[in-house]
Amino acid sequence: MRKTAVAIVGWGNVGRACKRAISECSDMYLAGVVRRASSLKTEDPTLENTVVVSDIKELGDVDVALLCIPSREVPQRIREYHAMGINTVDSFDEHHRIVSLRRELDVSAKVKKTVSIIGAGWDPGTDSLIRALMKVVSLTGHTTTTFGGNKGGRSMGHTVQVKSIAGVKDAVALTLANGRGKQKRKVYVELEKGADITAIEKAILADDYFKNEPTEIMVVKSIDKYNTLQHSAEIERTGMQANQMYSVSGNNPEFTANIMVSSVRACINAYNKEDYGVYTFIERPIIDYLAGNSLDDKLEGY
Amino acid sequence: MRKTAVAIVGWGNVGRACKRAISECSDMYLAGVVRRASSLKTEDPTLENTVVVSDIKELGDVDVALLCIPSREVPQRIREYHAMGINTVDSFDEHHRIVSLRRELDVSAKVKKTVSIIGAGWDPGTDSLIRALMKVVSLTGHTTTTFGGNKGGRSMGHTVQVKSIAGVKDAVALTLANGRGKQKRKVYVELEKGADITAIEKAILADDYFKNEPTEIMVVKSIDKYNTLQHSAEIERTGMQANQMYSVSGNNPEFTANIMVSSVRACINAYNKEDYGVYTFIERPIIDYLAGNSLDDKLEGY
């Protein structure tokens, strides 16, 4: 079987973790990494023996591009890659925009004969699948998702957003449980010289990522001691016929990367069946995300 | 949208629970119940206002038959119903036979243009999907499933098997945790007059359902005080990038019925797409199991 050629687009925490995840999968290989032209000259020992380009066209045939860029840049990048006939996987994280994004991009994907799996991270993504499955087990009931527990976890989307604000030198945005099914944010910000903290606070609190949850902002000299890559979630469904609980905890970019890389398979499976279009994580059969050459492989431990 | 006509085949605990579950679903209705001819005359207040027949043909058009019969009768019944052009859903529970059953029946399903979802209970079934999903989140790792906890839970398949042995008047087979990822069985048996307990014990211990786990058999005057409908499972995956846990507990026939009835939707969705064939639970997209008329409905709370 031909191996799938995968490109990593963006070289942040998730992009790096995707490289590790691809190396664990014998059915695909890393064709190269796409970075901003301005970053190409940066020395980076983790990119040794890796082709690094600023335009995906330079990589030749790429079956699937893993979009490891900020969520807000994802829609435009999908459009560009679809126009080139390249399939994509991303972990777009704005829940309320997923359905409209899927609808909008699905049209051109079908014309261009490409496939995208969008929102293929953990939440939205695998957690969404858990929530759907819990409804199947208990038709009536109430589901809550609680992030971060008492210690809090680093939200990648929120952190990237704060870092993009002018005057912010570095930042980490934590999500903490705030009672069952509710959360609050703690943002640690390291400022550039002469930065206007009032304007920065205003920009954070007005942003879609923060405006619906209690958010505490703290200016610190260095974010080092507040930084972490850990995160966690707990999903509970109480119902008439059954109670269910699912929890996940670990290194956020690492397990996000696992999910994205597994989604490469679902993407290629859809492409090979000519099921062109844009799909959320729960719209493809879970068997299509698994490694293995045969039904027996994939159903092992079923 | 036309409602799906569903038949319940078998009127044990799961069949009864399926009636309740169907009544919660506005997209389907109960066309009738199929029972053994010898049971048709039995008075049963739970069957009031319900059409009861001994041959499914008497019900007219049935879209999907829910096979609520012992697992070992399932393969033959699927064959019969496929020949009549009727789609089926079951909760066949013999893990090691699922892949071969799927392969074997898939051929004739494609010829007869029917769809079956097999093993659509909780284990195999929704637990299998959880195990698959956990592999996606953590590519490397170790997964264990522990059933019944310390108190134990009533296994339906095991109980049905013991009850089918000559000389057994009534029985309940419990599954208890026996350390992480391992289980043991406790079987309470009420005997017919003059029954040969040595032969019964031999029959239990030699059966595929019991032969691989420590099994304790106790003869009791009445199983009433040992009986329960509760069961539970805990699935854990520890891995390099993440730890995950899923637990489910509740009324076994009731949540099994929820899963089977949700699978009616996946069955009809496959049928409408002309994806004829036999599928395990994880081979159809989870979105196809959900209620709702639109993508927005189904992705609500995504």
> In sequence order, what are the beta bridge partners of A173?
A187
Among B115, B150, B143, B116, which residue's Cα sits nearest to residue B129?
Answer: B143
Same-domain pairing of B118 and B163: no
- Residue A147 CA to residue A234 CA, distance in Å, equals 6
Cβ of B299 and A259 within 8 Å? no
Nearest chain A residue (CA) to B295: A99
Enumerate residues 6+ apart whose C-beta is below 8 A from A196: A167
Cβ of B258 and A138 within 8 Å? yes
Same-domain pairing of B243 and B257: no
Among B156, B159, B184, B149, which residue's Cα sits nearest to residue B252?
Answer: B156
- Residue A220 CA to residue A226 CA, distance in Å, equals 9
Contacts of B95 in chain A (CB under 8 A): 302
Q: Read out DSSP for B26-94?
A: TTEEEEEEE--GGGTTS--GGGTT--EESSGGGG---SEEEE-S-GGGHHHHHHHHHHTT-EEEE----
Q: What is the pLDDT of residue A232?
A: 96
Q: What is the pLDDT of residue B271?
A: 98
- Residue A137 CA to residue A239 CA, distance in Å, equals 9
Closest partner residue to B299 (CB to CB) among A99, A130, A251 is A99
Task: Tell me the pLDDT tens digit for each residue of A79-108.
Answer: 999 999 999 999 999 988 999 999 999 999
Q: What is the pLDDT of residue A299?
A: 86
Contacts of B242 in chain A (CB under 8 A): 248-251, 254-255, 258
Check pLDDT > 80 for residue A222: yes
pLDDT band for position A293 (50/70/90)?
confident
Mean pLDDT of chain B: 95
Closest partner residue to A135 (CB to CB) among B124, B282, B290 is B290
Among A232, A284, A238, A233, which residue's Cα sits nearest to residue A135?
Answer: A238
Same-domain pairing of A189 and A265: no
One-letter identity of residue A159: T
Q: What is the pLDDT of residue A296?
A: 86
Mean pLDDT of A178-203: 95
Among B91, B77, B45, B102, which residue's Cα sits nearest to residue B231?
Answer: B91
> In sequence order, what are the beta bridge partners of A233?
A147, A248
Same-domain pairing of A136 and A115: no
Same-domain pairing of B9 and B121: yes
Check pLDDT > 90 for residue A147: yes
Q: What is the pLDDT of residue B295?
A: 87
Contact present, A102 and A280 (Cβ < 8 Å): yes
Cβ of B249 and A255 within 8 Å? no
Same-domain pairing of A93 and A80: yes
Same-domain pairing of A81 and A162: no
Cβ of B258 and A247 within 8 Å? no
Q: What is the pLDDT of residue A9?
A: 98
Contacts of A143 in chain B (CB under 8 A): 301
- Residue B120 CA to residue B279 CA, distance in Å, equals 9
By the CB < 8 Å criterion, does A255 face chain B?
A: yes
Mean pLDDT of chain A: 95
Q: What is the pLDDT of residue B299?
A: 86
| Residues of chain B under the 70 pLDDT cut | none
Contacts of B13 in chain A (CB under 8 A): none
- Residue B55 CA to residue A27 CA, distance in Å, equals 49
Q: What is the pLDDT of residue B214?
A: 96
Same-domain pairing of A155 and A217: yes
Same-domain pairing of A196 and A260: no
What global pTM score does this model have? 0.95
Q: What is the pLDDT of residue A42?
A: 83
Domain span at A138: 128-250
Q: What is the pLDDT of residue A301?
A: 79
Q: What is the pLDDT of residue A63?
A: 98
Number of Cβ pairs < 8 A linking chain A and chain B: 175
pLDDT band for position A259 (50/70/90)?
very high
By the CB < 8 Å criterion, does A229 face chain B?
A: no
CATH of the domain at B195: 3.30.360.10
Indicate the Cα dihedral angle B155, B158, B160, B162, nearest 10°. Answer: -130
Q: How many domains does chain B have?
A: 2
Same-domain pairing of A209 and A291: no
SS (H, E, C) chain A: CCCEEEEEECCCHHHHHHHHHHHCCCCEEEEEEECCHHHCCCCCHHHCCCCEECCHHHHCCCCEEEECCCHHHHHHHHHHHHHCCCEEEECCCCHHHHHHHHHHHHHHHHHHCCEEEECCEECCEHHHHHHHHHHHHCCCCEEEEEECCCCCEECHHHHHHHHCCCCEEEEEEEEEECCCCCEEEEEEEEECCCCCHHHHHHHHHHCCCCCCCCEEEEECCCCHHHCCCEEEEEEEEECCCEEEEEEEEEEHHHHHHHHHHHHHHHHHHHHHCCCCEEEEHHHCCHHHHCCCCCHHHHCCCC
CATH of the domain at B51: 3.40.50.720
Q: What is the pLDDT of residue A254?
A: 97
Contacts of A21 in chain B (CB under 8 A): 139
Among B235, B261, B210, which residue's Cα sits nearest to residue B66?
Answer: B261
Chain length of chain B: 302
Instruction: Give, as one character, the DSSP assignment of residue B283.
Output: G
Same-domain pairing of A99 and A88: yes
Task: Tell me the pLDDT tens digit for each residue of B274-298.
Answer: 999 999 999 999 999 999 988 888 8
By the CB < 8 Å criterion, does B140 face chain A?
A: yes
Q: What is the pLDDT of residue A180?
A: 87
- Residue B145 CA to residue A205 CA, distance in Å, equals 44
- Residue A59 CA to residue B104 CA, distance in Å, equals 44
A121-153: string of b/e by CB count within 10 Å (b at 16+)?
A: bbbbbbbbbbbbbbbbbbbebebebbbbbeebb
> In sequence order, what are the beta bridge partners of A218?
A188
Cβ of B139 and A21 within 8 Å? yes
List, as ranges, residues 19-38 from A with C-beta within 8 Å of B. Answer: 21, 24-25
Task: Tell me the pLDDT tens digit for each residue of B171-182.
Answer: 999 999 998 889
Same-domain pairing of A24 and A90: yes
Nearest chain B residue (CA) to A94: B302
